[in-house]
Structure 1
């Protein structure tokens, strides 16, 4: 299972989102710092879930990082987040 699928699975389990998009943008960063050639280094996530309603922006980002876990966060270089309630 690739990293994009792992991200999707963990976010669905943690937040039961009404909307979720996980895009692998690694190909856009070929040759840049942080691109290790694995084609799984840069991701963009758009997520909407009621669970984020009472959280600050920083709280939402921390919750996503926690849900993804140290293994995924340590394996990727960049994670762009678009978070909505």
Structure 2
């Protein structure tokens, strides 16, 4: 399974997001540390989920990092996050 598909599948299963965008930004980092010729090393995730209600920014990030622990330990070199509750997204 491709890295982006794995990220999408895990976040969908664990967070049931109202919105989820997984953007591969690897092409923007060609030649930088941690990149691979085939890409899928640098990602930006935008997620809106009720699971983030009542959590501060750091707690939301920790939740996502826990869900994506395998990806972060292996193929993913960089991950940027934009995480919101449904109330914040409207």
Q: Same fold (TM over 0.5)?
A: yes
Q: Runs of 4 or more off by more than 6 Å in structure 1?
A: none
Q: Compute the displacement of 1:56 (Å).
A: 1.1
> What residue in structure 1 maps to residue 47 of structure 2?
47
Offset, 1:40: 1.2
TM-score by length of 1: 0.93
Deviates more, 1:57-66 or 1:31-40: 31-40
Give the length in aligned residue pairs: 84
Match of 1:6 in 2: 6
1:73 and 1:32 map into 2 onto residues whose CA distance is 17
Distance (whole Å) between structure 2 residues aligned to residue 72 and residue 37 of structure 1: 17
Q: Which residue of 2 aligns with 1:37?
A: 37
Q: Which runs of 5+ in 2 are unaligned?
A: 86-90
TM-score by length of 2: 0.88
Q: Which residue of 1 aligns with 2:66?
A: 66
The alpha-carbon deviation at position 37 of structure 1 amounts to 2.4
